[in-house]
Amino acid sequence: MVVDQIRVAVVGGGIGGLAAAGALLHRGVDVHVYEQAPELGEVGAGVLVTPNSLRLLERIGLAEELARVGGPVGEGSTYYRHDGQAVSRILTADSNGWNGMYGMHRADLLAVLADALPTERIHTGHQCVDFRQDADGCTVIFANGEEVRADVVIAADGINSTLRLHVVPPVEVIDSGSVAYRGLVPAKAVPSWRPGVSQLWMGERKHFLTYPLRRGELITYIAFVPSQRQAAESWSAPGDADELRAAFAGWDEPVTTLLDAVETTYWWGLYDRMPLDRWTSGRLTLLGDAAHPMLPHLGQGANQAIEDGFALAAHLATAADISSGLQAYEAQRRPRTSRVQHEARLNGRRYDSHFDDLDERDSQITNTVDLRLWLYDHDAELEALGKASSAVQAG
């Protein structure tokens, strides 16, 4: 297949869509991104970039910029019981000991990915409303009246994907019974805070996660609490900071100290979905949350979307034709992301202490090192190319 003659339209300008575009462009593919918002942007929240996606992003020349905006997360990262009793270390490196982990403000990561693309390849103000395809190609129809013709369309349009309905029937939404409060605190507002680490406290039906952003200048927190209220599946719904503090009253002193410094918080309804039976229909394929929305309890939503993008780019650039490339991509990615979805559910139960015996819970937490190595050692791009992929660092 002559890659510079393939036209690819990526619908969705989030982390997964921009990463896919970067990977495709790196391989010489003619790719354009179409985002419904009037400008690219993300809410003030954090995302962990872990070794399995960082090695891919570094491979296309983003190492320096990611290091500039990221908050390194390393040795000393720890799981605790709610009262501060240490349970286990949090793994922050792959099997080779490469500590390829950053906490990043989502807006910073998005900016790095966008800046790696020529500006003429990103089109904002394009809300997808319809799609059709034929033997010669496919067409995306936008609310602004524009129609775009392409050889391949990548649906990176998120958890409420419009294009997913052209691949599978509507997907049942499963309420997790929890909501997550999240927000940012300046590190200087909490002088006693341990720098450079992720910390996670676990209590009855609740857990509290923190890690650094922006070279350690900011601390992001995500506080998971049970709720029967129907919260928006959004990161920008305003929350009540006093209600948040009350939910964690009496917890370990670093938790309550951090929460005392919270002025504004947002909450996010946590909903799950079962793995899809397929991701691809003709020239249309799904990527990221459109394909495999997952609970956040392994910190892999964005990382798996980035893996998707690099695997898809490799398959499209090397396959004999578009159909076989898309089918190979799906065959590679669906088993892995289905397992990650499943393991994220299980990890949420561990973090929220759904155990009669907390020693058993703590033992399981300690033993998730093997799961983390399975995640962090993986190289989705090299797997797509049929090469050995265990613990390969960006070179």
- Residue 216 in any domain: the answer is no
The percent of the chain in helix, strand and coil, each rounded to the nearest 5, is 35, 25, 40
What's the confidence (pLDDT) of residue 25?
97
- Residue 367 in any domain: the answer is no
Please give the full DSSP string across 344-388, using - where no structure is assigned: HHHHHHHHTT--S-HHHHHHHHHHTHHHHHHHHT--HHHHHTT--
- Residue 229 in any domain: the answer is no
What's the confidence (pLDDT) of residue 389?
47
Where the chain has pLDDT below 70, the residues are 42-44, 228-236, 388-395
- Residue 78 in any domain: the answer is no
Cα separation, 15 vs 305, whole angstroms? 7
Report how many domains make up the chain. 1
Known catalytic residue at 221: no
- Residue 143 in any domain: the answer is yes
- Residue 97 in any domain: the answer is no
- Residue 44 in any domain: the answer is yes
- Residue 13 in any domain: the answer is yes
Cα separation, 75 vs 92, whole angstroms? 7
pLDDT in tens, 272-309: 889 999 999 999 999 999 999 999 999 999 999 999 99
Q: Which domain does 130 fall in, by range?
A: 3-72+103-171+276-351+374-384
Task: Yes or no: say if 285 and 155 are a contact pair by the CB < 8 Å rule.
Answer: yes
The catalytically annotated residue of 80, 102, 181, 211 is 211
pTM over 0.75: yes
What's the confidence (pLDDT) of residue 232?
53
Q: Domain holding 57: CATH number?
A: 3.50.50.60
Sequence-ordered alpha helix ranges (H) in 251-378: 253-260, 301-318, 322-351, 358-367, 369-376
